[in-house]
Amino acid sequence: MSNLAVPASVSAAGFQEFLDARCEPAWLTDLRHDAWRTFQALPLPDAKSENWRRTDLRRFRFDRFRLPQPDAAGEAGGLTPLLAEGVDLGGQLTALDGRAVEEHLAPKWASRGVVFQTLAAAVAEREPLVKPYLLQRIIASDADKFAALHAACWSGGALLHVPRGVVVDQPFHVLSAMSSGGADFGRIVVVLEEDAEATLLTETASLEKDSVGLHCGAIEIRVGPRARLRFVSLQNWGGGVWHFARQRAVVAGGGHLQWTVGALGAKLAQVEQQVVLAGQDAQAQVNGVMFTEGKQHLVYNTHQHHEQPSCRSDLLYKGALQDRSRLVWRGMIKVDRGAQKTDAYQRNDNLVLSDHARADSIPGLEIEADDVRCSHGATAGRVDDEQVFYAQSRGLTRKEAARMVVNGFFQQVFDRITIESVREALGEAIRRRVREYA
The answer to the question of residue 162 being in a domain is yes
User: Is residue 260, in this structure, part of any structural domain at all?
Assistant: yes
Domain membership flag for residue 222: yes
Strand intervals (E) in 38-98: 91-96
* Average pLDDT, rounded, for the chain: 92
Q: 57, exposed or middle or buried, with CB in 10 Å at 0-12, 13-18, 19+?
A: middle
Write out pLDDT tens, residues 60-102. 999 888 888 754 445 666 678 899 988 999 999 999 988 888 8
Tell me: pLDDT of 3 over 70: no
* % of the chain beyond a pLDDT of 70: 95
- Find how far residue 402's CA is from the centre of its chain: 28
pTM of the entire predicted model: 0.94
Q: How many helices (H) and strands (E) does the chain have?
A: 9, 21
Q: At what angle do helices 12-20 and 145-153 cross, to 10 degrees?
A: 30
Q: pLDDT tens for residues 268-295?
A: 999 999 999 999 999 999 999 999 999 9
- The pLDDT tens digits for 320-366 are 999 999 999 999 999 999 999 999 999 999 999 988 999 999 999 99
- Nearest Cα residue to 42 out of 31, 34, 51: 34
* Sheet strands (E) in 293-369: 297-306, 312-321, 326-335, 342-352, 358-362, 365-367
Burial class for 289, CB neighbours closer than 10 Å (0-12, 13-18, 19+): buried
Label residue 7 by pLDDT band (50, 70, 90). Answer: low
Residue 2 clears pLDDT 50, i.e. is over it: no
DSSP state of 63: G
**With the C-alpha atoms ordered 403, 407, 410, 413, is the resulting torsion angle positive or negative?**
positive
Cα separation, 427 vs 327, in Å, equals 19
pLDDT at 69: 72
403 — pLDDT class (breaks 50, 70, 90): confident
| Residue 6: predicted pLDDT | 47
pLDDT confidence band for 431 (50 / 70 / 90): confident
What does the pLDDT look like over 153-212, one tens digit per residue?
999 899 999 999 999 999 999 999 999 888 999 999 999 999 999 999 999 999 988 889
CA–CA–CA angle 154, 160, 163 (5° rounding): 140
Return d(Cα 235, Cα 300) in angstroms, integer: 12
Per the structure, the count of domains in the chain is: 1
The pLDDT score that the predictor gives to residue 383 is 76
How far apart are alpha carbons 309 and 32 in whole angstroms?
36
Determine the Cα–Cα distance for residues 218 and 199; give it in Å rounded to an integer: 18
Say if 394 falls within a structural domain: no
Which of 98-102, 316-320, 393-397, 434-438 is predicted least confidently?
A: 434-438
Classify residue 95: in a domain, yes or no. Answer: yes
CB 42 within 8 A of CB 144: yes
Read off the pLDDT band of 57 (50, 70, 90): very high
| Within a domain: 419 | no
8 falls in which pLDDT band (50, 70, 90)? Answer: confident
- Residue length of the chain: 438
Q: Containing H/E element for 36? A: helix 26-41
- Would residue 361 count as lying in a domain? yes
Per the domain annotation, does 422 fall within a domain?
no
For the stretch 101-121, pLDDT in tens is: 889 999 999 999 999 999 999
Distance CA 146, CA 217 (A): 9
Q: What average pLDDT does the segment 225-234 reach?
A: 98
Residue 135: is it exposed, middle or buried by C-beta count within 10 angstroms (0-12/13-18/19+)? exposed
- Domain limits at 98? 12-383
Start-to-end CA span in the chain (Å): 55
The three-state secondary structure class of 234 is strand
Determine which of 200-204, 248-252, 398-402 has the lowest per-residue pLDDT on average.
Answer: 398-402
